[in-house]
Amino acid sequence: QKEVEQDPGPLSVPEGAIVSLNCTYSNSAFQYFMWYRQYSRKGPELLMYTYSSGNKEDGRFTAQVDKSSKYISLFIRDSQPSDSATYLCALSTGTASKLTFGTGTRLQVTL
């Protein structure tokens, strides 16, 4: 079993839709949770960063962490074609520890 599971997609939604992206994990030691967006042939860009359980909102993006279920989510409201990219979740056990990435979900927002 992989440490972090993420549906690779592709996920296709119409413009304006609410998008839900998810990851599950098996290691209860993960304390830090991040979401990255990666456009084709570019490096990942940090979108959201959360420590421990709870919700965090930033503009159209909301990150949720449920440590009891080992489940994290990223919601994108009012999705735009420019949101089309691959979204990667990344988890870490500590500030000095490596990031463990999900496989990434490819999102396509259509007009």
Partner 1 sequence: GAVVSQHPSWVICKSGTSVKIECRSLDFQATTMFWYRQFPKQSLMLMATSNEGSKATYEQGVEKDKFLINHASLTLSTLTVTSAHPEDSSFYICSARGRSRGTEAFFGQGTRLTVV
Candidate residues 22, 73, 103, 108; the one interacting with partner 1 per rule CB under 8 A: 103
Phi-psi label, residue 83: left if phi above 0, alpha if psi -120 to 50, beta otherwise: alpha
Tokens, residue 62: 């909301």
Site map 24..53 versus partner 1, x via CB under 8 A: --------x-x-x----xxxxxx--x-x--
Stretch 2-21: interaction string toward partner 1, x if CB under 8 A:
------x-------------
Contact 54, 62 (CB under 8 A): no
Should residue 99 be labelled a site residue for partner 1 when binding is judged by CB under 8 A?
yes
User: 32-38 and 11-14 as β-strands: parallel, antiparallel, unpaired?
Assistant: unpaired
Tell me if 111 sits within 8 A of 103, measured CB to CB.
no
List contacts with partner 1 (CB under 8 A). 8, 32, 34, 36, 41-46, 49, 51, 88, 90, 92, 94-96, 98-99, 101-104, 106
